[in-house]
Amino acid sequence: MIVSSLETSSPETKTKGEEKKKKTGRKVPPILVYAVLAVGLFGIGILSLKFGSIQLSTGEILKVLISGQDSLSELEVPHSILIWNLRMPRLVLSMLVGACLASAGVCIQGLFRNPLVEPGFIGVSPGAALAASTWIVFSEKILTFFPAELKGKESFLLQLCAFAGALSVSFFLHIVSKREGGGFSLVLVLAGIAVNATVVSLLGFLSYLADDTQLRNLTFWSLGSMAVASWHKIYLLGAVLLLVTFFFPVLARGLDALALGEAEAFHTGFKVRRIRNLTIVLASLLVGVSISICGNIAFVGLIVPHILRMVLGPGHRTLLPASLFGGALLLAIADLTARTIAFPSELPIGIIAAGIGGPFFLFLILQAKRREGEFR
């Protein structure tokens, strides 16, 4: 009953809300937003390189960055190693993961035409984490005839599995939401919760099968960490992100058209099915590979698009590229916090992200409720 009432009322209220946003929301020119984000990224980059076990001055950082090495050889731990082996990989990885998750968030929200969904929230990231964990446990228990390089945590097959996991969850949710009319649907959120619950139970089952070392790897997926940063992983994730950004123009046009409604998009000449499939594949690729590298980090895909929509409006042509910068900025801040707040040990970054994201999500829900019509 609730669902059907939502279905009938939501398309109108949604377009009304968007019109309102278009009129009042888009106060800031995109170029200014990009500039602010770029300056913010640069600033947090300097701070991240600065702080840690040994505090470096900005001059020292620049010297290492420009010359590639440092002049003082009698240092216990050379600054170049501190920067190039420890801090830079973490910084770059956290930025890349943030960019991937935030843009995947934009894609998935556009796809389901629901601003309150997020890869972690509706089960896409947990799906990726489950597939990755399954791979870790089973490749070492059952595929004993495999060469060692292809097994466990170090193999590229891990990324492939995580991608497949994310993809199957997205497709499943897509089918569910299509049956419900494709629009803003409570069923989608409920199906996401159901997927999440199933995934948690399957992860529990895996942890029963896993040995002690594997178990530690599994718990890592649920909290996320940037301590595993290495250049090899950065190249991999960077390549994936680069590949996806090539599709940004197509994605942006398609998602903008989808925002009008599927029938409208179809009648204005868009190949709706192709757009949807492309979005699902690309978003799953972003989520799957990021999750397989640094564990499940939730809420980035929710917070970043939301803030950006407030300042930029809902158009995907500016929203998608801005989310790259926004996600990078948010996760770089989260990682800096994670590794300095409990020094000399560190907090899992997922705790920081969810700690910011949970309350923010609550705030969004309450706001949406105040605007009435979007939520009941």
- Closer Cβ to another protein, 156 or 246, answer by number: 156
Q: How far is the CB of 66 from another protein (least distance, A)?
A: 21
Q: How far is the CB of 243 from another protein (least distance, A)?
A: 25
Per CB under 8 A, residues contacting another protein are: 43, 47, 50-55, 76-78, 81-82, 85-87, 208, 211-213, 216, 220, 225, 227-230, 336, 339-341, 343-346, 348
Helix/strand/coil (H/E/C) assignment for every residue in 238-285: HHHHHHHHHCHHHHHHHHHHHHCCHHHHHHCCCCHHHHHHHHHHHHHH
Could you tell me if 348 and 338 are in contact, meaning their C-beta atoms sit under 8 angstroms apart? yes
- Closer Cβ to another protein, 232 or 369, answer by number: 232
Helix ranges (H only) for the chain are 2-20, 30-50, 58-67, 79-81, 88-112, 124-141, 156-179, 186-209, 212-223, 231-246, 248-259, 262-267, 272-294, 300-312, 316-340, 349-371
Q: How far is the CB of 338 from another protein (least distance, A)?
A: 9
Listed as own residue / partner, the contacts of 169-178 with beta carbons closer than 8 Å and 24 or more positions apart are: 169/122, 169/123, 169/124, 169/126, 169/127, 169/128, 169/195, 169/284, 170/108, 170/124, 170/280, 170/283, 170/284, 171/280, 173/112, 173/122, 173/123, 173/124, 174/111, 174/112, 174/276, 174/280, 177/112
* Burial category of 255 from C-beta neighbours within 10 Å (exposed 0-12, middle 13-18, buried 19 and up): buried
CA 250 to CA 82: how far, in whole Å?
A: 41
- Closer Cβ to another protein, 81 or 194, answer by number: 81
Structure tokens at 220: 């890592």
- Closer Cβ to another protein, 162 or 226, answer by number: 226
Q: How far is the CB of 134 from another protein (least distance, A)?
A: 19
Could you tell me if 267 and 81 are in contact, meaning their C-beta atoms sit under 8 angstroms apart? no
Q: How far is the CB of 324 from another protein (least distance, A)?
A: 22
- Closer Cβ to another protein, 268 or 345, answer by number: 345
Backbone angles phi, psi at 115, to 5 degrees: -75, -5
Q: How far is the CB of 211 from another protein (least distance, A)?
A: 5
- Closer Cβ to another protein, 343 or 363, answer by number: 343
- Closer Cβ to another protein, 17 or 152, answer by number: 152
Q: How far is the CB of 239 from another protein (least distance, A)?
A: 20
Q: How far is the CB of 111 from another protein (least distance, A)?
A: 34
- Closer Cβ to another protein, 205 or 246, answer by number: 205
Closest CA to 102 of 331, 344, 376, 342: 331
Q: How far is the CB of 151 from another protein (least distance, A)?
A: 15
Collapsing DSSP to helix, strand or coil, 332 comes out as helix
Helix ranges (H only) for 21-87 are 30-50, 58-67, 79-81
- Closer Cβ to another protein, 145 or 208, answer by number: 208
